[in-house]
Amino acid sequence: MGNQFKDRTVLVTGAGSGMGREVAVQLASEGAFVTLWGRRKAPLEAVAMEIQEAGGSALVQVCDISNPDEISANLKASIGHFGTLDAAFANAGYLGEFKPLRDTRTDDFADLIQTNLIGTQQTVAQCLSHMENGVVLINASWTAGAVMPGSGAYAATKAALLAMMRVFAVEEGPRGNRINAISPGIILTPMADDVLDPEISARLSKHTPLRRNGKPEDVTGTAMWLLSENSDFVTGQDIVVDGGFTLGGALR
């Protein structure tokens, strides 16, 4: 185990699988006390067991970020348990149903907005109320700046998150709080598996200069850097981690 995050307390939302899981495990391996949030208890407990068996410390809390009251109650309990909150990875999100925008109805936006936009805003805002010289990292998406047909409603919420992130960064700077975003490209997580069949996945990998799709662990290094003191003069930024997918260069 390293000590880059020794004695720092970090909250990870959506920690039961995918990028959240990988970042949480890596944070713990670097000495962090990690609070794991997610809607399902069993995956969180599996992550916590992995962390604890490696000598780390993790707290499991079932929390649906679409409910501000759950955020508040769980945050209070987490801080009561660990004594402080130093950083947060606002990773939880909802993909929704991919469909053309002309077929997208009001109801299709409801859960996306409540979880991706309002839920993330409430998570970040409530965390920041307990922080000075803290760090928040928001998981956005490459779709906020490039186009995948069918992702219009989802992409709209992620683009709004980036705008919100920049405002947070300016407002919170005087308190020493840093807020950044990471925009993963095609990352093969359980959520992505819901919309990417093997044929589409193969086509996407061929379009990527590095000739492969990403794995959750491909995001970990950038996330760890943005959450650490190594990036202590970086705020209000979005870093795209996509193997070059959004460069849009001609295929060879």
What pLDDT score was predicted for residue 190? 64
* Whether the predicted pLDDT of 19 surpasses 60: yes
Do 176 and 121 form a contact (C-beta atoms < 8 A)? no
- Reading the block at residue 249, the tokens are 């260069």
194 — pLDDT class (breaks 50, 70, 90): low
Q: In sequence order, which ranges of the chain are alpha helices (DSSP H)?
A: 18-29, 41-53, 68-82, 106-112, 120-128, 152-172, 190-193, 198-207, 216-227
Residue 210 β-bridge partners: none
Lowest mean pLDDT among 44-53, 89-98, 144-153: 144-153
Yes or no: say if 114 and 68 are a contact pair by the CB < 8 Å rule: no
The token pair at 56 is 């780390």
In this prediction, residue 208 has a pLDDT band, given cuts at 50, 70 and 90, of confident
Active site residue 94: no
Give the separation between CA 71 and CA 62, rounded to whole angstroms. Answer: 10
Question: CA nearest 238: which of 123, 160, 134, 149?
Answer: 160
Asked whether residue 171 carries a pLDDT value surpassing 80, the answer given is yes
Q: Which two tokens stand for residue 220?
A: 């970990």
Maximal CA-CA distance, the chain: 56
Which pLDDT score, from 0 to 100, does residue 211 have?
82
Residue 63 has pLDDT above 50, yes or no: yes
Residues 5, 82, 89, 154: which is the catalytic one?
Answer: 154
Contact (CB, 8 A) for 184 and 141: yes
Q: Phi/psi class of residue 149: alpha, beta or left (left: φ > 0; alpha: ψ in -120 to 50)?
A: beta
Q: Which domains are present in the chain?
A: 9-244 (3.40.50.720)
Average model confidence (pLDDT) across the chain: 92
pLDDT at 21 over 50: yes
Task: Put residue 83 in one of left, alpha, beta given phi > 0 → left and psi -120 to 50 → alpha.
Answer: left
Task: Check residue 218 and give its pLDDT.
Answer: 93
Q: pLDDT of 172-190, one tens digit each? A: 999 999 999 999 988 876 6
What pLDDT, on the 0 to 100 scale, is given for residue 252?
A: 47
Identify the DSSP state of 171: H
pTM of the model: 0.93
Q: Write the pLDDT tens digit of every residue in 26-39.
A: 999 999 999 999 99
For the stretch 118-131, pLDDT in tens is: 999 999 999 999 99
